[in-house]
Amino acid sequence: MRVEVARHAGVCYGVERALKLAQEASEQGVDVHSLGPLIHNPQAVAELRDKGVEVAASLDQVDSGILVIRSHGVDPEIIHEAVDKGLDVVDATCPFVSAAHACAEELANGGYSVVIVGEEDHPEVEGILAHAGRSALIVQSADDLPAKISARKIGVVVQTTQSLSRLEEVVNALLPRVTELRVCNTICSATAKRQLSAEVLARKVDAVVVVGGHNSGNTTRLAEICRAVNPHVHHVETAAEVEASWFDGLESVGVTAGASTPHAQMAGVIEAIRGMN
């Protein structure tokens, strides 16, 4: 059985940067906490915990030491509060997420009613909302748009890990209903490359294994994109989840991984699949 790996797959720059900053913080000899899981990859978070980086659900759980801001970003007020508490703040927000924050703030300051395309309960979207203003509307698809839009001047910003097709769907639904529409395409290039590579791969192999956290939005979307063109798609976090029965009678299998999936984790899954030949 042939195993083919997507051209673009696995950990992106923003995640690598966050992991590096957390690792450096763990070597300072003081208490270190990340505000929420640093990235959406349980195995990587567990490894950080072994190195002394604990996960805090809120600032109330951190009294001293270093606070690492997760790659998804936060409400800037939280950073101000952390500094006021005397914490040493290490901002590991992904640069692409920071760009989305800046776009949301610029739209709001420009008098636009902001529409955020993304998952309402996702930490990245919560951070974008803080910059867009609490009156901003969050939608996951065109179906979530209200029947009546009173504002005639709409600005759109998008969660960095959303798909371009989802953004286009919302924009196309808004166009005939507003006087002025400004769109900030803040989907990160790493996400776009991984999504395109995953679709290309899924069309040419018999089955696809997508590697990454089950709680990872970008990894879940890779699986969704692959399933749209290939019925044999499996989303796993580790090699232990791979089952030989998935590949019975198949000639080829493709492997891709989300932007929050370390290369070693993906390599372990690839090795497990090759061992089943």
Give residue-wise pLDDT tens across range 66-100.
999 999 999 999 999 999 999 999 999 999 999 99
Residue at which a domain ends, from 187, 220, 254? 187
Count the domains in the chain: 3
> Which residue numbers are catalytic?
124
Range of the domain at 235: 2-10+190-274
Is residue 165 domain-shared with residue 212, that is, in the same domain?
no
Angle at 117 between CA 116 and CA 123, to 5 degrees: 75
pTM for this prediction: 0.87
Is residue 80 domain-shared with residue 113, that is, in the same domain?
no
Is residue 181 domain-shared with residue 232, that is, in the same domain?
no
Is residue 102 domain-shared with residue 138, that is, in the same domain?
yes
Is residue 212 domain-shared with residue 201, that is, in the same domain?
yes
Residue at which a domain ends, from 187, 222, 255? 187
Does the pLDDT at position 277 exceed 80?
no
Residue at which a domain ends, from 94, 111, 126? 94
Is residue 66 domain-shared with residue 104, that is, in the same domain?
no
pLDDT digits (tens, 9 = 90+) for 194-251: 999 999 999 999 999 999 999 998 899 999 999 999 999 999 999 999 999 999 999 9
Phi and psi at 256, nearest 5°, equal -135, 170
Is residue 115 domain-shared with residue 133, that is, in the same domain?
yes
For residue 19, how many C-alpha atoms fall within 13 Å in the half-sphere facing its CB? 21
Is residue 103 domain-shared with residue 89, that is, in the same domain?
no
Distance CA 132, CA 266 (A): 36
| Cβ-contact 22, 53 below 8 angstroms | yes
Is residue 154 domain-shared with residue 198, that is, in the same domain?
no
Is residue 180 domain-shared with residue 100, that is, in the same domain?
yes
CATH of the domain at 216: 3.40.1010.20
